[in-house]
Chain A
Amino acid sequence: MATRCNDRELLNDWHIVADRAALAGDTPFPTRLLGVDLAIDCRDLRKLEVVRTDTGATLKRAERYGFVWTCLDTPWRDIIYIPEANEADRHLVSGGSIAVKVSGLRAVENFLDMGHFPFIHAGWLGEEPHTEVAPYKVEITDKGEVLATECKFYQPVASPTAKHGFVVDYIYKVIRPYTVALYKSNPIQKERLDVITLFVQPVDEENCIAHPYLCYLKEGMEAATVRSFMQLIFGQDKPILENQVPKRLPLDPRAETPIRADAVSVYYRRWLRDRAVTYGAIPAQS
């Protein structure tokens, strides 16, 4: 049923396949990555194994940031490095892995979009009539990442502890085709940034699992509160994502009409095309 992936960019990269804390000892945990069925065998707690169900082959695996990672082939590069994960004064927690019936590329693109805040996250990340997305900058960094800076948006409740609305500064960074990070000014230590990295597991072309990894400053904030806020927001996005048609992300520039507020999406789609990423996408007609 699920189509197989032929994109080297994805096959030769690491992907999250489980929240480590969710794995119980007794039965293997079934999941799927890029259309390949996997079983995560954790009966021996010291030696967790990721096994392909079709061939029985044991795959490379790693544990980082509280998640289990695997690679279907030989990894070309290491798991992404999150410098903030080394800072002792931050909560470093999963926001809760949630399965979504849409291409993971759509989930990444939604994460990059500010235009929907006043409508989908009304009363939290935006509210009418503050609907304008002010112009922001987008560039491709020397590390080959999509970087959007100078993003500003008026938010009534920007964080779990916000007491009043204010204009929030955002930075977005697409790090890998299915990995995107958001940096947001901390309401107390304004010179420092809270970081949410959204690792998206491409289950198949039209299904994904969002694994949000939260690096929030602890000051004035409980880990459970951060997690609860993340789920409140993501729970609002989920039905919108699951109703997107088509479920895969069209890469043809003529397929869906962007406006200026979508500049980062335009870069993202072009960046995917340049990297020959087609899994979860509707490739552009050449």
Chain B
Amino acid sequence: MSTLYSKLRKPIIEGDKSLSQVTDDVAKTLETKPTKLWWFAFLLALTALVAGVVAVTYQIKMGIGTWGLNKTVGWAFDITNFVFWVGIGHAGTLISAILFLFRQRWRTSINRSAEAMTVFAVICAGLFPIIHMGRPWLFFWIAPYPNFRGPLWVNFRSPLLWDFFAISTYFTISLVFWYIGLIPDLATLRDRAKTKIKKAVYRVTSFGWNGSVRTWNRYETVYVLLAALATPLVLSVHSIVSMDFATSVIPGWHTTIFPPYFVAGAIFSGFAMVLTLMIIARKVLNYQEYITLDHIEKMCKVILATGGIVGLAYATEMFMAWYSVNEYERFVFINRALGPFAWAYWIMVSCNVIIPQLLWFKKLRRSIVFVFMMSIVINIGMWFERFVIIVTSIHRDFLPSSWAMYKPSIIEIATLLGSFGLFFSAFLLFARFVPFIAIGEVKGVLGYGRTNKSAPQIGHTPEPKLEAVEE
């Protein structure tokens, strides 16, 4: 069956898919047995997760002393991982909410998985503030709830409390948004399900979706509303996370530029993670026609833009340190670049600022191998950015007598590994049990109902020909 395409745009989905083809393509993954590759990846992720669970159990049993922290460096891997994972999450929300509001219809083939990534990343992130506590079994004390201890309230001035609100709100909204988007697809799966159990499960989870126009109408209203709700979170969550540092008095932390700087960094790193995941997924799950080179290139452009902001932020920080004539502030930045953690700083600068400049070249933006490597490099760089901000600022602050070094313990490394294990285990399960691509939404961008009447029907090679418009 041939489709009518606008000649003005290159179609978003390649392969001239029919509606049922889309359903079949996406549902196929869920209806076949997992491949050996999936099992291999899942076991690898599970192993990392188990290592993390063992490490965290040991740490909770013994104490925070099992980390490499000391009286000077009170946070290191824990909060680095926290900020890193929260940052990863931001791309998903940006893709699903902001790009939705901006009518960026190419988002449809990646929004489902990017949102899933957000949910799992926020779960990973949320664990760290809990396990980083000296007495994690009392973590609920940071929630303002009626109690018999006074009643004892929480400290509303503390950015950690703001974090608690920000992260829990973010997680709730992201989860609801993701799930609402899933409902039509779950109904599709329900209709295709062959076993009774599957049918029953999908019937319950799809909330009795019947595909009527009224249902679609309400669904889309809710979707827009949630997108509007989620949009400010993209900006607010990482702004608040950045205030953990910005509201402190420690040179290198106490920086007013942090909120926009962190948000840009979050989107930067989040898109890198989306790219990592999509490049693998499109190959393994055979979604090359849905997640096309154009998608990848567009994301690369986002990375280039946000990477530019991040680079500007680094330069601004340096400039302000010099311009402030504050000896402590100046020292922190000189110490970052030339002190004992200079290696971490230069990893950060090269991975986040220097290497991404290669994305100016279209050829490289469209090279799968290059973009994949770039996405890994940016992930590493952005992890180090948080490490540099946290550790190099506090390890040498005001009084030289207290200057100290930091070296992670094996428990911390295993915990970091475990968080990746948790993330990938969850993501791999997601890829097996939930439609990886939003079937309902992708169908909307296929071209049906958007026929250009004056345009002639075209065949299977939808090369846009601008001269056709003149006819």
- Same complex for A and B? Answer no
List residues of chain B with CB under 8 Å of any chain A CB: none
List residues of chain A with CB under 8 Å of any chain B CB: none
